[in-house]
């Protein structure tokens, strides 16, 4: 997915499934995705992510996730509430091609990194990813939230506690910081990752926390108190530069403080205190 990437699709749209869009990812460190729409096709995106669009592509702001799957006002309200809990806007923008021929609309990632295209039908129909990872998708994809069910994970999982849940069978475009590594875990295979660097995983993967070594390592190692432990089977995507780490370094440089170590590991100032940063 690095550099200039063109991923054409040749499938035909079927009733009751997400719009089968074509797209092209361009750029290197600062990427953007161009989505090509046939007449009547739509893409959904977070507010503020659009770069440009053809004039025949209309914009509509809707309450909720824009998937069109919510029924009635209460369904839309529930969808909007889920987005609010995960830190997203109550509204989603739907881009629909209202003209003839082909039309394009482009969306950009807000931070340096990679835009990863994923066909949800190829990953079991559901993807769990970090908050703020969703950039755009074919209309018909549902956006929700995923809570970590284990108490310790909820208390100390930091960014991994409340995550985004993307469901459906269509294309989604997720944005991750820095370089991205994809790992396929066999049944029972485990991987330890800084919690902020867990970009996404399929819902067959078990997410838990493990202690990061002994007391000395926790106090002076700079990697926080816990690692995320992901257990297969399933796929895992790892990002090298989570937004929290980038923001922490910028704030530390602006304030004249030292580098903030283990930014994604523990909630708030508690993590700095235990990690030896304060």
> 238 with 181: CB under 8 angstroms?
yes
Cα distances (angstroms) measured from residue 125 to each of 14, 29, 86, 171, 203 = 16, 29, 20, 10, 9
Q: For residue 62, give the nearest of 50, 39, 45, 49 by alpha carbon.
A: 45
Kindly give, in sequence order, each residue whose CB lies less than 8 Å from that of residue 163, ignoring residues fewer than 6 positions away. Answer: 86, 128, 129, 130, 131, 145, 146, 148
- Whether 142 has a pLDDT exceeding 60, the answer reads yes
User: How many whole angstroms separate alpha carbon 209 and alpha carbon 223?
Assistant: 13
Cα distances (angstroms) measured from residue 18 to each of 105, 126, 218 = 17, 14, 46
Residues 165-177 pLDDT 10s: 999 999 999 999 8
Residues 182-234 pLDDT 10s: 999 999 999 999 888 999 999 999 988 887 765 554 554 445 577 889 999 99
Q: With the C-alpha atoms ordered 103, 125, 83, 183, is the resulting torsion angle positive or negative?
A: negative
What is the DSSP annotation of 149-180?
-SHHHHHH-GGGSEEEEEESSSEEEEEEES-E
Residues 26-83 pLDDT 10s: 987 789 999 999 999 999 998 788 999 999 999 998 865 555 554 544 454 455 445 4
Bridge partner residues of 177 (DSSP):
113
Strands 113-119 and 226-231: unpaired
Sketch out the chain's domains with CATH numbers: 22-252 (3.60.160.10)
Q: Where are the alpha helices (DSSP H) in the chain?
A: 72-85, 151-156, 215-220, 243-255, 268-274
């Amino acid at each position: 997915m690095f550099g200039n990437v063109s991923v054409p699709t040749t499938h035909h749209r079927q009733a009751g499934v997400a719009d089968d869009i074509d797209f092209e990812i361009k750029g290197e460190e600062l990427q953007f995705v161009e989505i090509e729409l046939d007449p009547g096709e739509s893409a959904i995106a977070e507010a503020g992510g659009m770069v440009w669009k053809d004039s025949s592509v209309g914009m509509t702001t809707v309450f909720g996730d824009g998937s069109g799957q919510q029924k009635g006002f209460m369904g839309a309200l529930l969808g909007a509430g889920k987005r609010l809990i995960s830190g997203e806007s109550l509204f989603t923008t739907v881009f629909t091609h209202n003209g003839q021929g082909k039309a394009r609309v482009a969306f950009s990632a807000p931070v340096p990194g990679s835009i990863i295209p994923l066909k949800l039908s190829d990953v079991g129909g559901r993807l769990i990813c970090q908050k703020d990872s969703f950039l755009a998708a074919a209309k018909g994809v549902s956006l929700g939230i995923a809570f970590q069910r284990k108490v310790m994970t909820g208390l100390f999982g930091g960014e991994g506690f409340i995550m985004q849940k993307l469901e459906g069978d269509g294309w989604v475009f997720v944005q991750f910081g820095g370089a991205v590594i994809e790992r396929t875990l066999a049944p029972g295979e485990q991987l330890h990752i800084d919690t902020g660097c867990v970009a996404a995983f399929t819902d067959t993967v078990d997410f838990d926390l493990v202690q990061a070594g002994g007391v000395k390592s926790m106090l002076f190692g700079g990697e926080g108190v816990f690692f995320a432990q992901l257990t297969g089977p399933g796929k895992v995507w790892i990002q090298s530069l989570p937004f929290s780490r980038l923001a922490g370094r910028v704030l530390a440089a602006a304030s004249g403080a030292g580098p903030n170590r283990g930014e994604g590991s523990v909630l708030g100032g508690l993590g700095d205190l235990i990690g030896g940063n304060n």
